[in-house]
Amino acid sequence: MKILVTVKEVATVEDEFEIEGTGIADQYLGADLNEWDDYAIEEAVQLQEAGVADEVVTVTIGPEECEQTIRQALAKGADRAVRIWDDSLEDVDLLDVGAKTEILSAVVEEEDPDLVLTGVQAGDDSFGATGVSVAEHLGYQWGAVVNHLEHDFDDAASVRRELEGGVEELTEIELPAVLTIQTGINEPRYASLRGIRQAQRKELDVKALADLGVDESAVDAELELTDMYEPESESDVTTWEGSAEETAGELAELLRDKGVAQ
């Protein structure tokens, strides 16, 4: 079985920062592997260790500077990586879900994996839609917000999904499929020193849109970022005096009132 994992280098931001135009000032920004993708990689590597998968390939859309981040996945056990970049992507401010779907779908068609794992969302732009959108585009089955995956399957995957309001669903999903992976599904490992060394020699293939047969017009965004501001936040505190037995009921009532619990 072959697994394709989509990975992304995301922007990270310090606790205190300043907004500049429609972005955050550079000096407050860092970069790291998207947290959800770290769990997706771990799940894929565990499937490989369990003998279910025999190849794990990662794919990213990003400039050369993100290679160091992408190699983290290779150091943790992925076999090879594909990086998509193109001159036409250079000045795109916000790559929208439609564009990502076209590009990633082309990679999926070329690689022809049995299983595609994505993160539920990216920590920076947080669309939370790419995985499912790719599945729809390709006519693959999909399962979103997967927080458990059985490690023995052939033509279907047994998954547990998080639904709203604390409800979970157990379901079988036929392959080929896209699963969007939720944090907490496993405990991502640290890249081992040997792994880091070996990752330097693993294949990292760079492709342009034309190599994938994707037209440049695919990256023309339908979305435009018009403003960036900190939302006004209100805070409100309720305190109860008394023992847990006396006050737990009141807390439950409040949570129900606020719509947090059902």
Partner 1 sequence: MEFGLSEEQEQIRDEVARFAENEIVPHAEEYDTEEKFPHDIVDEAAEMGLVGASIPIEYGGAGYSTLESAIIAEELFSYDPGIALSILACSFGTEAIREFGNEDQKERFLEPVARGEKISGAAISEPDTGSDVSSVSTRAEKDGDEWVINGNKMWITNGTVGDFFVMLCKTDPDAEGRYDGFSQIVVEADRDGFTSEKITGKLGIRASDTAELILDDVRIPEENLIGDQGAAFLQQMQFFDATRTGVAAQGVGIAKGALRAALDYAQDREQFGKSISEFQAIQHKLADMATKTEAARNLTYKAAWNVDQGNDITKGASMAKEYASRIAVDVANEAVQIHGGSGYVNDFPVERFYRDSKITQIYEGTSEIQKNVIARELLDKGF
Q: Which residues bind partner 1 (CB under 8 A)?
A: 67-68, 71-72, 75, 189-197, 199-200
Shortest reach from residue 72's CB to partner 1, in Å: 7
How, if at all, do strands 19-20 and 23-24 pair? antiparallel
Calculate the alpha carbon distances from 3 to 42, 60, 79, 82 in Å.
12, 14, 10, 13
Q: Please say which residue, 28 or 127, places its beta carbon nearer to partner 1.
A: 28
Q: How far is CA 71 from CA 6, 64, 65, in A?
A: 13, 12, 11
Closest approach, Cβ 146 to partner 1, in A, equals 24
Q: How far is CA 19 from CA 92, 121, 195, 228, in A?
A: 19, 23, 38, 7
Q: In DSSP terms, which residues pair with 116 in a beta bridge?
A: 4, 178
User: Which one, 13 or 218, has the nearer CB to partner 1?
Assistant: 13
Q: Which is nearer to partner 1, 190 or 240 (CB)?
A: 190
Among residues 50 and 251, whose Cβ is nearest to partner 1? 50
Strand intervals (E) in 96-254: 115-119, 141-149, 156-162, 168-174, 177-181, 204-207
Q: Which is nearer to partner 1, 67 or 111 (CB)?
A: 67
Smallest separation (angstroms) from partner 1 to the CB of 69: 9
* Number of separate helices (H) and strands (E) present in the chain: 7, 13
Give yes or no for a contact between 122 and 8, defined as CB atoms under 8 angstroms apart.
yes
Q: Output the smallest distance, CB 67 to partner 1, in A.
A: 8
Q: What is the rounded CA–CA span in Å between residue 198 and residue 204? A: 13
| Closest CB to partner 1 among residues 68, 247 | 68
Write down the least CB distance from residue 8 to partner 1, Å. Answer: 17
